[in-house]
Amino acid sequence: MNARLTASLCCALFLFGCQSVPDKGARGTWTESTLSEQTLKKIQADSFDYQQCLHQQLMGEIPAETDESTVTDMILGRCEERLKPIKATFDAEKVPDDISSRYLEKKRSYAKRNVMRFVRSVQAAQAAEAASKPAAIKSSPADPPQ
């Protein structure tokens, strides 16, 4: 009987501890549903602008002999300014810094992963192309052509 009472008491205390009650003092704080459609469209447009910048940078020359992480950081650095309007939009809507920072960090992380994947594939294609060409015989300037 004592073990039964102890088990029942533990179960009741556990269930009581799991009960979640919303904080009544949280009034006036930001919630995700408070962003207007206009704000969401502005964030989407700025995100698209960032993606377009990355795309334009990737269509440029990618050096084969440079480390892919260096090239990736260089490309991301050129487009970093395009993320500032998103942060400004979040700040204007009073979105907490930790949430907006997390959103921007996620954007950067996805972009870095995709850019690095693209750079690696381009560099691999360049290396394969260079390996498939026969080695050209180089004539030195001291040897005149015959």
Question: Whose CA is closest to 107, among 119, 125, 90?
Answer: 90
Q: Is 23 among the domain residues?
A: no
The answer to whether position 61 is within a domain reads yes
Count of alpha carbons within 13 Å of 65, Cβ hemisphere only?
1
C-alpha neighbours within 13 Å on the C-beta side of residue 68: 14
**Confidence (pLDDT) at 49:** 96
In a domain, 9, yes or no: no
In a domain, 86, yes or no: yes
At residue 132, the pLDDT reads 84
Residue 19 falls inside a structural domain: no
What CA–CA distances, in Å, run from 78 to 59, 67, 93, 108, 137?
13, 17, 27, 12, 39
In a domain, 45, yes or no: yes
Tens digit of pLDDT at every position of the chain (146 positions): 566 655 555 545 454 555 555 555 455 565 666 788 899 999 999 999 999 999 999 998 888 778 889 999 999 999 999 999 999 999 998 889 999 999 999 999 999 999 999 999 998 888 888 888 776 545 555 555 55
Tell me which amino acid residue 90 is: F
The answer as to whether 7 is a domain residue is no
Domain around 104: 34-129
Q: How far apart are CA 52 and CA 89, in angstroms?
A: 19
pLDDT value at residue 35: 82
Into how many domains does the chain fold? 1
* 3 within a domain of the structure (yes/no): no
